[in-house]
């Protein structure tokens, strides 16, 4: 993945975040984290269905890296929140991605970032 300017601006936002704010975003499921990443432009916030011209709504969806998906209330078509963003195609759970971004922004070594987030180094090489 190649970082975009949106990712860089989000990373700068995480450098002013302390570990307590970080913890508040990643505990109790992904809802607060998803909202944070939507506000940062890293996940889709609004999407209109091209078939029925209705706005997609966000619904819980287990089995996805984000834990939510966008669903059209008319035709029930689903779209991932990562669609068309830097995170499209990502296979890493969103909280782990955010943890890596947080530690990277704080210039933590890869060794320690991997230990703190329990992410396999294989993810970091792809
Ligand atoms: Zn629709």
Looking at residue 125, its pLDDT comes to 59
Q: How far is ligand 1, taken at its centre, from the CA of residue 113, in Å?
A: 41
Looking at residue 53, its pLDDT comes to 95
Q: How far is ligand 1, taken at its centre, from the CA of residue 104, in Å?
A: 39
The residue length of the chain stands at: 126
Q: How far is ligand 1, taken at its centre, from the CA of residue 82, in Å?
A: 18
pLDDT band per the 50, 70, 90 thresholds, residue 124? low
User: pTM (2 decimals)?
Assistant: 0.80
Domain ranges of the chain: 5-125
- pLDDT beyond 80 at 58: yes
Q: How far is ligand 1, taken at its centre, from the CA of residue 41, in Å?
A: 23
- pLDDT beyond 70 at 8: no
By C-alpha distance, which of 43, 26, 8 is closest to 117? 26
Looking at residue 27, its pLDDT comes to 86
SS (HEC) of the chain: CCCCHHHHHHHHHHHCCCHHHHHHHHCCCCHHHHHHHHHCCCCCCCCECCCCCCECEEEECCCCCCCEEEECCCCCCEECCCCCCCCCCCCCCHHHHHHHHHHHHCCCCHHHHHHHHCCCHHHHHC
Tens-digit pLDDT profile for residues 11-46: 667 678 888 988 998 887 889 999 999 988 899 989
Looking at residue 4, its pLDDT comes to 65
Bridge-based pairing of strands 68-71 and 78-79 is antiparallel
Tens-digit pLDDT profile for residues 60-103: 998 889 999 999 999 999 999 998 888 898 888 999 999 988 98
Looking at residue 104, its pLDDT comes to 87
């Amino acid at each position: 993945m190649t970082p975009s300017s949106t990712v860089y601006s989000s990373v700068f936002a995480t450098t002013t975040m302390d570990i307590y704010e970080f913890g508040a975003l990643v505990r109790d499921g992904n809802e607060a984290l998803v909202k944070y990443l939507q506000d940062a432009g890293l996940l889709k916030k609004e999407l209109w269905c091209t078939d029925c011209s209705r706005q997609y709504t966000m619904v819980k969806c287990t089995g996805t890296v984000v834990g939510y998906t966008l669903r059209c209330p008319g035709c029930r078509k689903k779209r991932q929140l990562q669609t068309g963003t830097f995170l499209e195609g990502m296979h890493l759970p969103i909280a782990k991605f955010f943890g890596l971004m947080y530690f990277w922004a704080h210039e933590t070594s890869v060794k320690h970032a991997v230990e703190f987030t329990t992410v396999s180094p294989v993810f970091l090489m792809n």
